[in-house]
Chain A
Amino acid sequence: MSDDRRTSDGNDMSGGSRTTWHVPQEDLLAYTQGELTPPRLWSADTHLAACARCRETLAALSDPVALDAGWERLDAELDAPRPGPVEWLLVRLGVADHTARLLTAAPALRRSWLGAIVALLVMTVAAANAVRAGAMPTLFLALAPLLPLAGVAVSYGPALDPTYEMAVVSPLHGFRLLMIRTVAVLTVGLGVNGLATLALPSYGLRALAWLLPALALTATGLALTSRLGPVLAPSLVGGGWIALLTVARATTESDATLAPFTAAGQGVSGAVAVLAAGLLYLARDRFDVSHLPLTDFTDRNAA
């Protein structure tokens, strides 16, 4: 430690303790005024937590209000939750810390969920590359739109959000929470799908034909959630997508492109996405009350 980190009079103020260094008076003064900057601030924080003499000096130097604020900041830093990797990354990317915390509670941003998606996509892409049949990677295109739909579905609603009932009665509007999580889950889901698409270079842009159906399915699933609830709505939409592809397969020659992945089909997907997004916005207030059925509670009472 250099000499300028000693007390201004150069004396050891520890009064017999093992501490040989103390925070210089000018640093304590800057500390009381909230003007001490890192790394000196960190050094002062750490030292003050352990040194009674410096705390006394600090108390003498500062007005009580500023001193309380300093202690509070120190306490807060010691208590503050340590963010996980996703939350840390979000904050680094400029997301406000409170929004990042809301997001990390979404199941679809957890490692287990992301791991399952990545494993599924890797297998599908490997299969598409190994068995190259027809002009399109059909299995991949059929599966990819379902992943964001499922991701959004599991990030909202009583079945998978354990704090659902508390969140519904909070001042934060249910629709806003839904949108915050949807945007995050969609970003991650579409990003992972996009990376998988890059692993299918031989198909060129045709391998991106999942994108508009993915948006259409997610928006439709959410719009129907306002009426049918968070389990039935995405299940119906996912089932409808599989049924549509099955019918298209049955009515299309084996090496021809399925209708949803043709230019016309893509146009329809885009239109459905926009329409569903509009309906979702109109139904936004329906997300502000609980979708837990009343029967849940009477059954529980009766049990």
Chain B
Amino acid sequence: MIPTVSASGLTLRFGGTRALDDVSVRLAEGVTGLLGPNGAGKTTLLRVLATAVPADRGSFTVLGHDPGTTAGRLDVRRALGYLPQTPGFHQDFSAFEFVDYVAILKELTDRTARHREVRRVLEAVDLSDVRGKRIKRLSGGMRQRVALAAALVGDPGFLVLDEPTVGLDPEQRMRFRELIAQAGEGRTVLLSTHQTEDVAMLCHRVIVMAGGRIRFEGTPAELTDRAAGRVWSSTERDPAARAGWRTGTGAFRNVGDPPEGADLLEPTLEDGYLLTLDGETAEVAA
């Protein structure tokens, strides 16, 4: 793996909480998923890497640029596309005007070249037909695509997407996944999500965070492998299981340390994720 983004020892506190606690990660070209429960520090990590807030300690580089210096930060921002957790819009702007506005913020000052770029990204997110519509008249899924178009404008090498699939219906989510997969070709994408399916379908690599720390970094297959031999089926909920739930067949799917002779099941990414969180939570609590 050739890292395009490298972070080392990132720490950020507020109040008595460590939002980031000695976080070191490396990202490469393609889509990397960032999984974690609420309050894990995912958004804080994304905001630090997007240069919105500085870390108290630690350093990172993006595509060889060091945001610790004024010139380096400018270079990082020139290479950055950022879709915040709750992207805000000027509601009276049309989709075209909004993306055009973001393009101006990204220093595309030549009108002709800028409009060409705005048309390109709106085409890429399949919004060409509604480009003249006011944002307040667009559906939630379309607005999210406008925000993605704004992140893609200027062809950034590093794309930071904070829970972009939240609030989308299943069809919109599928469409959005396709767009993110396309965006991941030839650039580094960091995708924060609650959805293990997003990671399973999209990501080359996955990072799991909890309590401001990195709990796992590897491929989705490696995360799934963490649950190999640790998922079993039973007719009643197994008290030995760390987690168990009734599935559509009526049988219980248990995750944890199986008893002798248990009916083992094929693990999924979600099982690996649950075990990763569960083990680490126990360790932190101890």
Query: What residues make up the interface of A, taking CB atoms closer than 8 Å to B?
Result: 72-73, 75-76, 79-81, 96-98, 101-102, 105, 161-173, 177, 285, 288-290, 292-295, 297-298, 300-302
A-B contact pairs, 14 of them (CB 8 A): A76-B112, A79-B118, A79-B132, A98-B108, A98-B109, A98-B114, A101-B101, A161-B88, A163-B101, A166-B84, A169-B77, A285-B70, A294-B19, A300-B85
In the assembled complex, which residues on chain A have CB atoms less than 8 Å from the CB atom of B88?
161-166
Shortest Cβ gap from B85 to chain A (Å): 7
Instruction: Check B84 against A162 for contact (C-beta < 8 Å).
Output: no
Q: Does B50 contact A (CB under 8 A)?
A: yes
Residues of A within 8 A of B131 (CB): 79
Contact call B90/A75, Cβ cutoff below 8 A: no
Closest to A167 in B: B105
| Interface segment, one of B36-44, B173-181, B221-229, B257-265 | B36-44
From B51, which residue of chain A is reached at the shortest CB distance? Answer: A169
- Which positions 262-279 of chain B face chain A at CB distance < 8 Å? none
Q: Please give me the 7 A-B residue pairs with the lowest Cβ-Cβ distance, nearest first.
A: A162-B88, A170-B105, A290-B52, A81-B97, A301-B38, A294-B14, A171-B77
Chain A interface mostly helix, strand, loop or mixed? helix
The answer to whether A297 and B85 touch across the interface, beta carbons within 8 angstroms, is yes
Docked CA distance A171–B107 (Å): 7
What is the bound-complex CA distance between A103 and B70, given in angstroms?
25
A98 vs B117: C-alpha distance when bound (angstroms): 14
* Minimum CB distance partner of B49 in chain A: A169
User: CA separation between A294 and B44, bound complex, in Å?
Assistant: 7
Q: Which of B101-156 contact A (CB under 8 A)?
A: 101-102, 104-109, 111-112, 114-116, 118-119, 131-132, 150
State whether A80 touches B115 (Cβ < 8 A).
Answer: yes
Contact B96 A298 (CB under 8 A): no
- Given the interface contacts A170-B106, A295-B15, does A79 sit within 8 Å of B96 by beta carbon? yes
Given contacts A81-B94, A165-B88, A298-B39, A76 and B115 within 8 Å (CB-CB): yes
Q: A166-B150, A290-B53 are in contact. Are A72 and B107 (CB under 8 A)?
A: no
| Smallest Cβ-Cβ distance to B86: which chain A residue | A300
Minimum Cβ distance to chain A for residue B156 (Å): 11
Contact A105 B90 (CB under 8 A): yes
Besides A102-B104, A165-B87, A302-B39, 10 new A-B residue pairs in contact (Cβ under 8 A), listed by A number: A75-B119, A79-B119, A81-B96, A81-B100, A101-B97, A166-B87, A166-B102, A293-B14, A300-B85, A301-B38
